[in-house]
């Protein structure tokens, strides 16, 4: 088999890139380790920047998001029971975010892919990139016990944090930057109306909590849990009790609870690999960087990488400007580090981490107070929450 671009991984990064390239007439094949249903079963992101929404429309997969997605022009931060609304739209000159689940947008991209007639191979195992440093790379894999090989011009590694792409770059060519936070987020999805029309990020002595939503009848809630916590030890009842204790009274009183549809613990990690390319292999999304979920930046940062590679490959094939591929990593990394910094800062600001001195506790309180009380502080949060613009490739 032969194609222009082999994309490893059918998460949102891989599917979005595949559709955008297809729209430009650039053939591609996607190889995914698990089944489509398994990919759709992962409950993850919920908040999209406007840049992501535009890319999804450009990919021809934005129709349902524009009907079912909720446009939010504000978000709340609650500190020890006191609520502050960050008016995203007025603080950023009209920018907003869209609340639309990763599961739904992945489904939309899968449907668009089916219509495009481009090949997607699910349950493709032992996927392996070869000869990435040379001019004739190829990818091998197995499916249903048969071995396959695809020759290509470029390989896009969209296979998440545990994928094979990053591991296929010689270790002396990359540098990794990492911070692992103690504990994680215990998340519950429930078919109940959301407690508040807008998201509420809550800082509390007992730990962080987040009230999010997927629609007016589907809620997504999270609480910060310690490193030793196991999901089996959290009955629905225990989860709801703990969430209520961390929310302002008026929200706790009106919280409607119900059985969990999904319950899982997500780790909190900051991670970046530099550079994000080696020869003809490019890394995108979680394959190259991870953020703790506090700033809602993971998927949105992935979309920045997709925008960059798509812009470059469009010019490579339409104008023969293959030298542009050299710019991929440096272009992505500026925006990646912006997302890393905001996610790390929001995580430190809103979580309860043990081990602070009395002085550090005071500094933390004062920082919270400054950012929430002053318009300048709120503006800094709003500006980053709605997302920075993508860099243009010239």
> Which residue in the list 141, 310, 385, 390 is annotated as catalytic?
385
Preceding peptide of 236 cis, ω within 30°: no
Told to judge if 201 belongs to the known catalytic residues of this protein, a careful annotator would answer: yes
* Vertex 194: Cα angle to 193 and 195 (nearest 5): 115
- Do you know the residue count of the chain? 394
* Rg of the chain (C-alpha set): 21
Minimum CB distance to ligand PHB, residue 390 (Å): 20
Told to judge if 72 belongs to the known catalytic residues of this protein, a careful annotator would answer: yes
Buried-state track 148-160, b at ≥16 Cβ within 10 A, e below 16: eebebbbbbbbbb
Span near ligand RFL by CB under 6 A; candidates 31-39, 241-249, 270-278, 347-355: 31-39
Member of 7, 10, 336, 349 binding ligand RFL (CB under 6 A): 10
> Which residue in the list 95, 204, 297, 315 is annotated as catalytic?
297
For position 184 contacting ligand RFL by CB under 6 A, the verdict is no
State phi, psi for 198 to the nearest 5 degrees.
-110, 165
Minimum CB distance to ligand RFL, residue 394 (Å): 26
By beta-carbon proximity to ligand PHB, the closer residue of 10 and 199 is: 199
Pairing of strands 5-8, 28-31: parallel
Minimum CB distance to ligand RFL, residue 375 (Å): 25
From residue 39, how far is each of 28, 66, 106, 323 by CA, in Å? 20, 22, 8, 35
Told to judge if 293 belongs to the known catalytic residues of this protein, a careful annotator would answer: yes
For position 9 contacting ligand RFL by CB under 6 A, the verdict is yes
> Which residue in the list 201, 222, 278, 328 is annotated as catalytic?
201
By beta-carbon proximity to ligand PHB, the closer residue of 62 and 295 is: 295
For position 266 contacting ligand RFL by CB under 6 A, the verdict is yes
* Position of minimal CB gap to ligand PHB: 46
For position 164 contacting ligand RFL by CB under 6 A, the verdict is yes
From residue 79, how far is each of 197, 302, 383, 390 by CA, in Å? 18, 30, 20, 32
What is the x/- site pattern for ligand RFL, positions 342-361, by CB under 6 A?
A: --------------------
From ligand RFL, ligand PHB, none, interface partner of 294 (C-beta below 5 to 8 A by class)? ligand PHB
Sheet containing 281-283: order of strands: 120-121, 28-31, 5-8, 154-157, 281-283, 277-278
Reported as type and span, the H/E element at residue 131 is none
SS3 of residue 108 by DSSP:
helix
Minimum CB distance to ligand PHB, residue 311 (Å): 27
- Active-site amino acid positions: 72, 201, 293, 297, 385
User: Which residues would be at the binding site for ligand RFL (CB under 6 A)?
Assistant: 8-14, 31-34, 39, 44-47, 102, 127, 158-160, 163-164, 185, 187, 266, 285-286, 293, 296-300, 302
């Amino acid at each position: 088999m032969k194609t222009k671009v082999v994309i490893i991984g059918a998460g949102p990064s891989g599917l979005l890139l595949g559709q955008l390239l297809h729209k430009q007439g650039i053939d591609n094949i996607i190889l995914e380790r698990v089944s489509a249903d398994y990919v759709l079963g992962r409950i993850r992101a919920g908040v999209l920047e406007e840049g992501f929404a535009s890319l999804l429309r450009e990919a021809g997969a934005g129709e349902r998001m524009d009907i079912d997605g909720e446009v939010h022009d504000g978000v709340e931060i609650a500190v020890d029971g006191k609520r502050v609304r960050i008016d995203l739209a007025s603080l950023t000159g009209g920018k907003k975010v869209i609340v639309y689940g990763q599961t739904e947008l992945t489904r939309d991209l899968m449907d668009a892919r089916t219509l495009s007639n481009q090949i997607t191979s699910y349950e493709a195992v032992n996927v392996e990139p070869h000869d990435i440093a040379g001019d004739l790379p190829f990818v091998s894999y197995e499916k249903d016990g048969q071995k396959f090989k695809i020759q290509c011009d470029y390989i896009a590694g969209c296979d998440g944090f545990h994928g094979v792409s990053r591991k296929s770059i010689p270790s002396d060519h990359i540098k990794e930057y990492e911070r692992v936070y103690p504990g994680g987020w215990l998340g519950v999805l429930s078919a109940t109306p959301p407690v508040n029309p807008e998201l509420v990020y809550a800082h509390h002595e007992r730990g962080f909590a987040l009230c999010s939503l997927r629609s007016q009848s589907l809620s997504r809630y999270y609480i910060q849990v310690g490193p030793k916590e196991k999901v089996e030890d959290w009955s629905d009842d225990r989860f709801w009790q703990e969430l209520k204790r961390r929310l302002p009274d008026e929200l706790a009183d009106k919280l409607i609870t119900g059985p969990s549809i999904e319950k899982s613990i997500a780790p909190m990690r900051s991670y970046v690999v530099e550079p994000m390319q080696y020869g003809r292999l490019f890394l995108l999304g979680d394959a190259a960087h991870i953020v703790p979920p506090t700033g809602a930046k993971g998927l949105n940062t992935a979309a920045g990488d997709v925008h960059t590679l798509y812009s470059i490959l469009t010019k490579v094939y339409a104008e023969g400007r293959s030298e542009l591929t050299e710019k991929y990593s440096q272009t992505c990394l500026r925006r990646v580090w912006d997302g890393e910094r905001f996610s790390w800062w929001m995580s430190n600001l809103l979580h309860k981490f043990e081990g602070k001195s009395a002085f550090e506790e005071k500094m933390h309180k004062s920082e919270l107070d400054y950012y929430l009380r002053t318009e300048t502080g709120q503006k800094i949060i709003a500006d980053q929450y709605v997302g920075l613009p993508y860099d243009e490739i010239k």
